[in-house]
Amino acid sequence: MPNESQPGEAQARKQMAQEMAAVRLRMSRVRRKLLVLSGKGGVGKSTVAVNLALSLAAMGKAVGLLDVDIHGPSVPKLLGVEGAQPTVRDNAIVPMEVAGLRVMSIGFLLQDDRTATIWRGPMKANVIKQFLKDVEWGDLEFLVVDSPPGTGDEPLSVAQLLEQGTGAVIVTTPQQLAIVDVRKAITFCRSLNMPVLGVIENMSGFVCPKCGEKTPIFGSGGAERMAEEMNVPFLGSIPFDPKLVESGDAGQPFMQLHSEGEAAKAFAEAVRTLVGLSTIATPAPAPKATPPAKANSPMRIAIPIAGGRLAMHFGHCEHFALVDVDPETKQITGKELVEAPDHQPGLLPKWLHERGATVIIAGGMGRRAQDLFQEQNIEVIVGASAKEPEALVEEFLGGTLRPGENICDH
């Protein structure tokens, strides 16, 4: 008797492949992802995540802030946007613009701050996937992800969905009880091959606003010693500052209002260290320092061609159609057909970059090849169907290009 579940399983696998392709496409425009973790609750992780993001924005970086704490979202309160509701444009969720950040949180989708989110793991994973693939993040230098305490569904989902290009920042307080759990968070990251960019010790002493004397309320130095033992970077100590509490309760950006305080200086120093370290967030070579294309910059779309249509594997094509596009008018302004070079590992990304390509539309492409294209600042779209290049470009510009299954994901 035939197995009736096979067609359903095949459809589910196809849908999963399509969703992952959509996540990769959206995240290809984000250069570095910082997953902020803590081994336990109560260490000020969300406060640290928000102020790291604000510090990066103060350095002139394009920064997104994603709150995936499904059961206890804090970011809307900390930034004073409780009750805000994001809009939808061109089938994408538009993140809130707050204090120079692009912000998204489950808190924006709840009826009010008393609504409990009673979800199991699969539902939480699905909404996190939606935040990554359906939010119009645009071109970002950093996406800071505020994750709930522990090593459960939410951080695991983010780590698996973001794949390469992600590094972890782990937050603790000085006391040993918190540091014991930090070791578990570091082990969690290593089991997923996710680099630990560093540890931050929060609430590291109280600095008297009158005399400047520092009192180690919870002890001090424990996180730095632990980081040395675990062979991970130590990003610095953030002293306890009552203004941090006041700013959070008032929904005001601390780093913008109190930039001269000791806590603000410690955040800024941690970020300066992070910017240097975050280039190791992926085992692939660091991306070239070419700035991302601006929204109205000329666009050149590369399409591998065989027999006048899209070749289903980019490395087996006869020619490349290089189609020039005005992104503002969404009109094709030119087309060039060039003979494909001899197929050599790693050659095509650099070859197409030298010819001005900013996007490649392919039928199938392996994960390593996608990474190489992204290093050349070329946006990758896989799973397209075998159509003529002009038709594919028009669908892409019109937002109707629906990538299918990546037939060569190896």
What CA–CA distance (Å, rounded) separates 118 from 98? 28
Taking Cα atoms as reference points, which of 159, 223, 226 lies closest to residue 190?
159
Burial of 78 (0-12, 13-18, 19+ CB in 10 A): buried
Q: Hey, how many other C-beta atoms are within 10 angstroms of the C-beta on 77?
A: 18
Indicate whether 194 pLDDT > 90: no
Q: Residue 263's pLDDT band (boundaries 50, 70, 90)?
A: confident
CB 147 within 8 A of CB 169: no
Give the H or E element holding residue 360: strand 359-361
What CA–CA distance (Å, rounded) separates 267 from 23? 30
Burial of 224 (0-12, 13-18, 19+ CB in 10 A): middle
Helix intervals (H) in 104-241: 121-133, 153-162, 176-191, 222-230
Give the H or E element holding residue 93: strand 92-94
Q: Two tokens at 361?
A: 């539309």
Cα 374 → chain centroid: 14
Token pair 């995936």 is found at: 68
75-79, 127-131, 293-297, range with the lowest pLDDT: 293-297
What CA–CA distance (Å, rounded) separates 180 from 38? 11
87-96, 112-121, 288-297, range with the lowest pLDDT: 288-297
Indicate whether 282 pLDDT > 50: no
pLDDT: which is higher, 294 or 84:
84
What CA–CA distance (Å, rounded) separates 152 from 148? 8
Percentage of the chain lying above the pLDDT 70 cut: 83
* Amino acid present at 275: V
- The pLDDT assigned to 154 comes to 80
CB 386 within 8 A of CB 32: no
Average pLDDT over residues 373-387: 83
- All domains in the chain, ordered by first residue: 27-280 (3.40.50.300), 295-398 (3.30.420.130)
What CA–CA distance (Å, rounded) separates 179 from 189? 15
Average pLDDT over residues 192-197: 87
Classify each residue of 204-214 as buried b or exposed e, where b means 16 or more C-beta atoms within 10 Å of its C-beta: bbbbeeeeeeb
pLDDT: which is higher, 268 or 164:
268
* Amino acid present at 127: V
Dihedral sign of CA atoms 2, 5, 8, 10 in order: negative
Q: Hey, how many other C-beta atoms are within 10 angstroms of the C-beta on 251?
A: 14
Q: Indicate the SS3 state at residue 299.
A: strand
pLDDT: which is higher, 40 or 226:
226
- The pLDDT assigned to 213 comes to 66
Q: Two tokens at 189?
A: 């990251």
- If you write DSSP's letter for every residue of 137-171 in order, what string do you get? --SEEEEEEE--SSSSHHHHHHHHHH-SSEEEEEE
Give the H or E element holding residue 393: helix 389-398
pLDDT: which is higher, 315 or 310:
310
